[in-house]
Amino acid sequence: MMTRRKLLQTSAAPIAGAMALPALSAAIQASSTVYRRPKLKITDVRTAMVLVHGPQAHIRIYTDQGLIGQGESTDAAIGTPALIQSFKRFLMGADPLNVEAIWEQLRRNVFSGAQGGQYITALSGLEIALWDLAGKALGLPVYQLLGGKFRDKVRIYLDTDMKDNLGPEADRKLAFAKEKGFSVAKIDIDEAADPHRFDRFNRTANNAEMDRMLKEVQHIREKLDPSIELAVDMHAFYDAPTAKRVAKELEPFRLLWLEEPVPAENIDAMAEVKRSTNTPIACGENLYLRWGYRELMEKRAVDIIQPDFQKAGGLAEGKKIANLADAYYIPVAPHCVVSPVGLMASVHACAAFPNFLVLEWHWVNHQDLWKNWIKEGEIIERGFVTVPDRPGLGVEMNEEVAKKAQMQGTSWFGPNGAGSDRD
Ligand code: MG
């Protein structure tokens, strides 16, 4: 490795007399950094797709000094390998320590739909890999690069991911929540297959559906340990009249939040629901970038926001969204459905802003994969993840285990990018 001192010894000494000091200084500036090593250059970017909570993408950035950064993107991540291939022309030879400038250059690629959707999902995973790389290059944990930590441990909530809120699965999952020390659990009450539905596309819940929802929440609240807070998700499935009725009827249960009672695409409708009830309203997993949250904040349309850092723009963008929310005294409970690599990335970001509430864990139905996905093993202890002090994200993928979830027909960090390893 070329250090500043070595450079001086090898290049400056023989020509000390011939080379003027300003020229020597310029030579050093061009080939090294203040971190006393030669400038890093990106040499390759590769992807691997897995199928766990839908298609999820793992992204690796390679450098000329052997350092590798890894990130993850999720939800509609199916296009990530192709998009990462298309980013390559901007990335090859770039200094990966300029994380935000690289991110901004790619975001301003306005002809690629750069304000949301799959483009920002891919960019999020890439940005996380850049932070991992920067941390490893500088010998610092990512939270430190994001401005330092407000907390040593990040609170995690259990998404129960249940098919049936009333049967033995509920008994099992609620006992698990208590046994593992979680302080918050979440259930879903939207049901596309409810036999009472008016029709397939209508968003209005009739009384029979409303009774089912109330019965489920009541049952769970009675069975769940009183020390554990309950959140309820409606998955953007219903209309405003239904959302207002449900939120009102659920008031006695003192939910931590009611999530996406209406779709987040109409901010005024969300605000109408929020103003109608004392039940705290949350949304955000389907919004992108700080601009996607601006109107939500300005109109005070929700009580809690839920950005997904593997989807909404990455860790620095997540922090900016959280800082914006803090100006409105809105807490942040990030959506998170990824592997331990992605969750640990979110942990670093959640440590680095004050108004953090709780972070989601969604792999309760994939626990064998979860526990073995990284070499560090289980990272959730008594409902918290300790913010690691190792350089970068501080976790390393256990490839033999992760590869079990590889998506058919996709490349496993192969050189061919978007295709399979055989093409
Ligand atoms: Mg949700």
Look at residue 15 in the predicted model and tell me its pLDDT. Answer: 46
CA 188 / ligand 1 centre spacing (Å): 8
Backbone angles phi, psi at 203, to 5 degrees: -95, 5
Mean of per-residue pLDDT scores for the chain: 93
Check pLDDT > 60 for residue 5.
no
CA 79 / ligand 1 centre spacing (Å): 22
CA 32 / ligand 1 centre spacing (Å): 46
* pLDDT over 70 percentage in the chain: 91
How many residues in the chain? 423
Look at residue 127 in the predicted model and tell me its pLDDT. Answer: 98
Backbone angles phi, psi at 406, to 5 degrees: -60, 140
125 near 58, Cβ under 8 Å?
yes
Check pLDDT > 50 for residue 227.
yes
CA 67 to chain centre: 23
CA 337 / ligand 1 centre spacing (Å): 10
CA 260 / ligand 1 centre spacing (Å): 7
Contacts by residues 103-110 (CB-CB < 8 Å, ≥ 24 positions apart): 103/127, 103/130, 103/313, 103/314, 103/316, 103/317, 107/289, 107/313
Are β-strands 281-283 and 304-305 bridged in parallel, bridged antiparallel, or unpaired? parallel
127 near 71, Cβ under 8 Å?
yes
Check pLDDT > 60 for residue 154.
yes
| Whole-number Å distance between alpha carbons of 244 and 229 | 21
Between these two residues, 113 and 204, which has the higher pLDDT value? 204
Look at residue 11 in the predicted model and tell me its pLDDT. Answer: 46
Residue 14 banded pLDDT, cuts 50, 70, 90: very low
| Whole-number Å distance between alpha carbons of 372 and 51 | 16
229 near 183, Cβ under 8 Å?
yes
CA 305 / ligand 1 centre spacing (Å): 11
CA 86 / ligand 1 centre spacing (Å): 30
The Cβ of residue 369 has, within 10 Å, a number of other Cβ atoms equal to 18
* pLDDT over 90 percentage in the chain: 86
CA 131 / ligand 1 centre spacing (Å): 26
CA 75 / ligand 1 centre spacing (Å): 12
CA 399 / ligand 1 centre spacing (Å): 29
Q: What is the DSSP letter of 399?
A: H
Report, in angstroms and rounded to the nearest whole number, the Rg of the chain calculated over CA atoms. Answer: 24
Which residues, at least 6 apart from 371, have a Cβ–Cβ distance to it below 8 Å? 377, 378
Check pLDDT > 90 for residue 7.
no
Of the ranges 26-40, 100-114, 160-174, 277-291, which one carries the lowest mean pLDDT score?
26-40
| Whole-number Å distance between alpha carbons of 314 and 322 | 12
Strand (E) or helix (H) holding 243 = helix 240-249
CA 89 / ligand 1 centre spacing (Å): 35
Of the ranges 5-14, 196-205, 247-256, 361-370, which one carries the lowest mean pLDDT score?
5-14
Amino acid type, 358: V
Residue 23 banded pLDDT, cuts 50, 70, 90: confident
Look at residue 126 in the predicted model and tell me its pLDDT. Answer: 98
| Whole-number Å distance between alpha carbons of 131 and 418 | 23
Look at residue 21 in the predicted model and tell me its pLDDT. Answer: 76
CA 110 / ligand 1 centre spacing (Å): 28
pLDDT tens per residue across span 77-107: 999 999 999 999 999 999 999 999 999 999 9
If phi over 0 gives left and psi between -120 and 50 gives alpha, with beta otherwise, what is residue 95?
beta
Look at residue 8 in the predicted model and tell me its pLDDT. Answer: 43
State whether residue 312 is helix, strand or coil. Answer: coil
| Whole-number Å distance between alpha carbons of 174 and 224 | 6
Residue 114 banded pLDDT, cuts 50, 70, 90: confident
Helices 207-223 and 240-249 sit at what angle, rounded to 10 degrees?
40
Are β-strands 153-159 and 359-361 bridged in parallel, bridged antiparallel, or unpaired? parallel
CA 178 / ligand 1 centre spacing (Å): 22
Averaged pLDDT for residues 304-321: 98
Helices 340-351 and 315-326 sit at what angle, rounded to 10 degrees?
40
Look at residue 36 in the predicted model and tell me its pLDDT. Answer: 62
CA 298 / ligand 1 centre spacing (Å): 22
Alpha helices in 250-288 (DSSP H): 267-275
Look at residue 96 in the predicted model and tell me its pLDDT. Answer: 96
CA 361 / ligand 1 centre spacing (Å): 12
DSSP bridge pairs for 50:
56, 406
Residue 300 banded pLDDT, cuts 50, 70, 90: very high
Averaged pLDDT for residues 378-397: 98
Averaged pLDDT for residues 334-359: 98
Look at residue 1 in the predicted model and tell me its pLDDT. Answer: 44
CA 258 / ligand 1 centre spacing (Å): 10
pLDDT tens per residue across span 179-190: 999 999 999 999
CA 259 / ligand 1 centre spacing (Å): 6
Backbone angles phi, psi at 250, to 5 degrees: -85, -5
CA 285 / ligand 1 centre spacing (Å): 7
Averaged pLDDT for residues 357-368: 98
Look at residue 422 in the predicted model and tell me its pLDDT. Answer: 53
CA 360 / ligand 1 centre spacing (Å): 10
Averaged pLDDT for residues 227-237: 98
Of the ranges 15-29, 194-208, 241-255, 259-273, which one carries the lowest mean pLDDT score?
15-29
CA 130 / ligand 1 centre spacing (Å): 27
**What does the block give as tokens for 403?**
């590869």
Averaged pLDDT for residues 308-335: 98
Between these two residues, 388 and 418, which has the higher pLDDT value? 388
CA 216 / ligand 1 centre spacing (Å): 17
> Cα dist. 292→227, 282, 310, 320, 350 in Å?
34, 15, 15, 12, 19
Of the ranges 45-49, 199-203, 344-348, which one carries the lowest mean pLDDT score?
199-203
CA 311 / ligand 1 centre spacing (Å): 13
| Whole-number Å distance between alpha carbons of 278 and 91 | 48
Averaged pLDDT for residues 1-10: 46
Are β-strands 153-159 and 384-386 bridged in parallel, bridged antiparallel, or unpaired? antiparallel
351 near 143, Cβ under 8 Å?
yes
CA 394 / ligand 1 centre spacing (Å): 27
CA 335 / ligand 1 centre spacing (Å): 7
161 near 113, Cβ under 8 Å?
no
CA 283 / ligand 1 centre spacing (Å): 8
State whether residue 6 is helix, strand or coil. Answer: helix
Domains of the chain by start residue, with CATH: 42-139+401-405 (3.30.390.10), 144-398 (3.20.20.120)
Q: What is the pTM of this model?
A: 0.91
Look at residue 198 in the predicted model and tell me its pLDDT. Answer: 96
CA 235 / ligand 1 centre spacing (Å): 5
Look at residue 10 in the predicted model and tell me its pLDDT. Answer: 46
269 near 247, Cβ under 8 Å?
no
